[in-house]
Amino acid sequence: MRLITTALLAAALFLGAPVCADAAITLKAAYTNVEEHPQADGYALFKKLVEERSKGDIKIELYGSGKFGYADAIMQGLQMGVLTIGGETPGNYSVYDPSIQVLDLPYLFPSYEAAERFFLSKEAFDLTKAFEKKGVTLLGFQHLGYRTIFSNRPIATLEDAKGLKIRTTASRTEIETIKSLGMNPTPMAWGEVYTALQQKTIDGINIDINLAYVNKFHEVCKYVTLSNNNYAPLMIFVSNRQWKKLNADQQKLIKEAFDESLALQRKIIFDNAKVLQKKMEEAGVKFFTLSDEELARWKKATSTVGETVKDIVPLEKQEYVKSLIK
């Protein structure tokens, strides 16, 4: 009996469940980006708010910089209930619902403000309903920002981009976007990207400025084309198993604290766009802003992507999402 009791106690501690009425609840939250990334700032505020407002009754353990693992490990941890909060981009989780790649469509968001309004809307949350059957529920959207082209040669026109090998995520929508622009999309494991850029195995990467900067990609890519061809959100989920263990007041406290942390994370991401560009320029990186005429060419070139991916993202869903963005 003693052995069984000890095993149950160990399991309860591992799962973050309280073993008595007065014990503090420990919730685990994981994210993949390094501590210098704004995602870490958001999670740090979330931890502070929850622990202060619960008067220490709820503790938050943070696992940043991929210490819990990456996209697959985080989803599995949430489903098993050994992790409470975590998430990744739509492309990384499209295996659970391919149609979520609607959020990767090119030139979907005309501004940061439009993206912010959309990802705070009930309709945006509703797009993730299919994940609830997988054991997770959306807590909120963090932001990475606009994806743009970091490369080892100047790209000022579509002709300049032709034939370049560009690292993308596994999102088919993103892959088709890069392909439509005349480049060769090259999905690659995240841990291999810096070396591949350094050794010129690939010519560049489709990535947002914040993530590129904290991973020092500007050291090996001295040209940036501000194409803003895709927008990258992060879908942050809560484990249904863990959520059900919390009472209504605890859930409310966590949700409110998380929403406040999202506001900080968004602000830093948006503000950093110009700040980091200046820092990279000082480090010798040359930026190209597409002229109105050239940007129109890029948009026209990507206009067929929706038709290409209609088997996984129905055209009706594409038009519905576009109608919500203002």
Q: What is the pLDDT of residue 22?
A: 55
pLDDT digits (tens, 9 = 90+) for 48-100: 999 999 999 999 999 999 999 999 999 999 999 999 999 999 999 999 999 99
pTM for the whole thing? 0.91
Q: Which of 104, 260, 264 is nearest to 177 (CA)?
A: 104
- Cα separation, 245 vs 139, in Å, equals 16
Q: Is 184 helix (H, G, I), strand (E, B) or coil?
A: strand
Q: Sign of torsion, CA 95 96 97 102?
A: negative
pLDDT digits (tens, 9 = 90+) for 225-248: 999 999 999 999 999 999 999 999
**pLDDT above 50: residue 300:** yes
Q: Which residues lie below 8 Å from residue 148, measured CB to CB, with a gap of 6+? A: 206, 207, 208, 209, 224, 225, 226, 227, 228, 229
- Cα separation, 181 vs 89, in Å, equals 22
Q: Which residues lie below 8 Å from residue 87, measured CB to CB, with a gap of 6+? A: 31, 74, 93, 139, 142, 234, 235, 236, 237
Best CATH choice for the domain 25-324 from the list 3.40.30.10, 3.40.190.170, 3.40.50.740, 3.40.630.40: 3.40.190.170
Task: Tell me how far apart the terminal alpha carbons of the chain are, to the nearest angstrom.
Answer: 62
- Cα separation, 284 vs 222, in Å, equals 7
pLDDT digits (tens, 9 = 90+) for 10-44: 344 444 444 334 579 999 999 999 999 999 999 99
The pair phi, psi for residue 286, each rounded to 5°, is -100, 130
